[in-house]
């Protein structure tokens, strides 16, 4: 008897506001028009992907004190886009990033319960935290939070959100016209929470969604972040897409689950990755190089270097050698609103100079090399083999696919790679269930023991 193959799980990431997204290509469509979102979500659903994914950023990035204008700028609001996509899709999961720092649990729990109801059980929340005073300037509340309190606050926020989702029984709505009983007596309970970060009390407005709780994604990579994921998340959005790093991360995070009385199948590890296909490996490699050149035009290469050097380098030729001038270590927040930490700029500058000199690389070439994150490059068969190997050998449970073109950048993956994964029995050919939890093989959380909340019934 053979054990069934591990199933690959795949998400489709809408291209984001960074230089991965190539806007200069003639095929590149709108980042804002709903048609772009609809295209990607519908094509992903036709390929039976697990979910569509939309990221968030609450302040336009700045570089040298001005809005960074070289990458895509601007995006619609995450949750209304996902709600709108629920109208034009039937099965695919709808996942979005929502920052917890500038939101309150009552409102977030309500929005995700609503999305879950409006989509028939397809909502997922990629919960991120921020201690970012720069973004905080757009908000009256929230803003600066000591780093060590970020996960503490996030954990409390999830606790409150879950209490709110559980405060309605699954079968609370009976709508008995004859007796006038709309909700079953005792089935909707007041929530009372008094914690260090939140004080919440009241009767929640929104029934429990089809999934009970929306699927929770988490992306933190620090030890605290990994523990938070092991304790709380259903899916980890990981950055470790190479095989060796993936295996190490997979073992580490899944190894943390037992301490929280959870089993390995209760948390999926899904790294973000890119795919470049060609009829031959050679053609794919050439296409990949072309894409990298599109992603790193000269001004982008200079701006990237300026983040390390902490000074204006626009007088340098991107096709020329690296700057001989030393970094200004006093000016390391030259770029704001993006996650990149430069620890020792002089050492990095020195290493890059040596690397460029040894290989004869220009500034642009160096930036292309040091910002390359791998990803899958090859024929459809090679890519399908590689994706499957990662999953069968526990380097991941699947991938979140990040295209470089909006909106059709994954069409070739759907058309060429997915069928090969299906042929080998590693990917679904039909949706077996209706909810995202069904697609991901996650159990539906039972309502918690309600005695931990105040027991006052709304309708007696």
- In this structure, are residues 26 and 65 in contact, taking their beta carbons and an 8 Å threshold? no
171 part of the interface to other proteins, by CB under 8 A: no
Asked if 199 interacts with other proteins (CB under 8 A), we say yes
* Segment interacting with other proteins (CB under 8 A) among 197-205, 238-246, 349-357, 367-375: 197-205
Q: Are 11 and 401 in contact (CB under 8 A)?
A: yes
Ramachandran bin of 275, using left for φ above 0, alpha for ψ from -120 to 50, beta for the remaining angles: beta
| Residues 4-23 close enough to bind other proteins by CB under 8 A | 23
3-state secondary structure of 170: coil
Neighbours of 110 (CB within 10 A): 17
Pick from 46, 181, 281, 392: which binds other proteins (CB under 8 A)? Answer: 181
163 binds other proteins (CB under 8 A): no
Q: Is 102 in the site for other proteins (CB under 8 A)?
A: yes
C-alpha distance from residue 445 to each of 28, 208, 218 (Å)? 41, 11, 18
Within 138-157, the residues that bind other proteins by CB under 8 A are 138-141
SS (H, E, C) 19-52: CCCCCCCCCCCCCCCHHHHHHHHHHHHHCCCCEE
- Interaction between residue 453 and other proteins (CB under 8 A): no
Please state the closest distance from residue 426 (CB atom) to other proteins, in A. 33
With binding defined as CB under 8 A, does residue 185 bind other proteins? no
Give min distance, CB of 277 to other proteins, in A.
25
Show the binding pattern over residues 29-48: x = contacts other proteins (CB under 8 A), - = does not: ---xxx---x----------
Using CB under 8 A as the binding rule, whether residue 186 contacts other proteins is answered as no
Q: In this structure, what DSSP letter does residue 267 have?
A: S
Question: Between 75 and 94, how does the x/- string for binding to other proteins read (CB under 8 A)?
Answer: xxx-xxx-xx-xxx------
**CB-based contacts of 107: which residues, under 8 Å, 6+ apart?**
none
Select 117 or 342, whichever has its Cβ closest to other proteins.
Answer: 117
Query: What are the respective helix, strand and coil percentages of the chain, to the nearest 5?
Result: 35, 15, 45
Contact by Cβ (8 Å): 16, 274: no
Size of the site for other proteins (CB under 8 A): 73
Task: Determine the interface stretch with other proteins among 52-60, 230-238, 358-366, 397-405 (rule: CB under 8 A).
Answer: 52-60
58 belongs to the binding site for other proteins (CB under 8 A): yes
- Calculate ∠ Cα 40-42-45, nearest 5°: 105
> How far apart (Å, rounded) are the C-alpha atoms in residues 377 and 406?
19
Q: Determine which helix (DSSP H) or strand (DSSP E) holds 305, and give its type and residue range.
A: helix 298-309
Pick 183 or 386: Cβ nearer other proteins:
183
Q: How far is the CB of 162 from other proteins (least distance, A)?
A: 16
Q: Does 188 bind other proteins (CB under 8 A)?
A: yes
Residue 280 beta carbon to other proteins: minimum distance, rounded to whole angstroms = 30
Residues 300, 458: Cα–Cα separation, whole Å: 58
Q: Which of residues 422-441 bind other proteins (CB under 8 A)?
A: none
Q: Where are the beta strands (DSSP E) in 122-161?
A: 123-128
- By the rule CB under 8 A, 182 interacts with other proteins: yes
Binding string to other proteins for residues 103 to 142, with x set by CB under 8 A, is what?
xx-xx--xx--xx-xxxx----------------xxxxx-
Query: Rule CB under 8 A: which of 267-296 touch other proteins?
Result: none
Say whether residue 71 binds other proteins (CB under 8 A).
yes
Dihedral sign of CA atoms 227, 228, 232, 238 in order = negative
* Residue 457 interacts with other proteins (CB under 8 A): yes or no: no
Can residue 458 be called a binding residue for other proteins (CB under 8 A)?
yes
Smallest separation (angstroms) from other proteins to the CB of 113: 8
| CA nearest to 193, candidates 162, 220, 223, 172 | 162
Site for other proteins in 292-351 (CB under 8 A): 297-300
């Amino acid at each position: 008897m053979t054990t069934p193959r591990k199933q690959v799980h795949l998400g489709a990431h809408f291209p984001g506001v960074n230089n991965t997204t190539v806007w200069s290509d003639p095929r590149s469509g709108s980042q804002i028009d709903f048609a772009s979102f609809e295209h990607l979500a519908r094509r992903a659903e036709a390929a039976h992907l697990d979910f569509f994914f939309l990221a968030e950023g609450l302040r336009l990035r700045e570089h040298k004190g001005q809005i960074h204008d070289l990458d895509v700028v601007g995006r619609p609001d995450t949750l209304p886009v996902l709600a709108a996509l629920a109208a034009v899709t039937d099965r695919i999961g709808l996942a979005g990033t929502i920052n917890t720092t500038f939101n309150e649990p009552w409102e977030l729990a309500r929005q995700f319960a609503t999305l879950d109801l409006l989509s028939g059980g397809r909502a997922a929340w990629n919960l991120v935290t921020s201690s970012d005073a720069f973004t905080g300037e757009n908000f009256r509340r929230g803003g600066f939070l000591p780093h060590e309190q970020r996960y503490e606050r996030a954990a409390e926020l999830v606790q409150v959100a879950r209490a709110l989702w559980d405060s309605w029984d699954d079968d609370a709505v009976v709508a008995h016209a004859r007796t006038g009983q709309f909700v079953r007596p005792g089935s909707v309970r007041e929530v009372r929470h008094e914690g260090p970060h939140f004080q919440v009390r009241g009767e929640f407005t929104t029934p429990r969604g089809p999934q009970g709780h929306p699927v929770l994604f988490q992306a933190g990579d620090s030890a605290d972040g990994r523990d938070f994921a092991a304790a709380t998340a259903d899916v980890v959005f990981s950055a470790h897409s190479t095989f060796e790093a993936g295996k190490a991360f997979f073992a580490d995070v899944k190894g943390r689950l037992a301490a929280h009385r959870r089993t390995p199948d209760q948390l999926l590890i899904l790294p973000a990755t890119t795919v470049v296909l060609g009829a031959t490996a050679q053609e794919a490699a050439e296409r990949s190089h072309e894409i990298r050149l599109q992603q790193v035009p000269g001004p982008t290469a200079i701006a990237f270097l300026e983040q390390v050097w902490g000074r204006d380098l626009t007088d340098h030729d991107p096709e020329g050698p690296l700057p001989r001038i030393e970094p200004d270590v006093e000016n390391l927040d030259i770029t704001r609103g993006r996650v990149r930490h430069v620890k020792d700029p002089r050492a990095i500058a020195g290493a890059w100079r040596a690397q460029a000199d040894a290989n004869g690389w220009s500034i642009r070439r160096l930036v292309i090399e040091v910002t390359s994150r791998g990803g899958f490059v090859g024929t459809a068969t090679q890519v399908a083999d590689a994706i499957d190997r990662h999953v069968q050998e526990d380097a991941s449970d699947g991938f979140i696919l990040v295209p470089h073109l909006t909106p059709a950048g994954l069409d070739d993956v759907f058309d060429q790679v997915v069928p090969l994964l299906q042929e080998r029995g590693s990917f679904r050919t039909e949706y077996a269930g209706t909810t995202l939890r069904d697609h991901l093989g996650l159990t539906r959380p039972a309502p918690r023991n309600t005695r931990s909340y105040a027991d006052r019934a709304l309708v007696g």
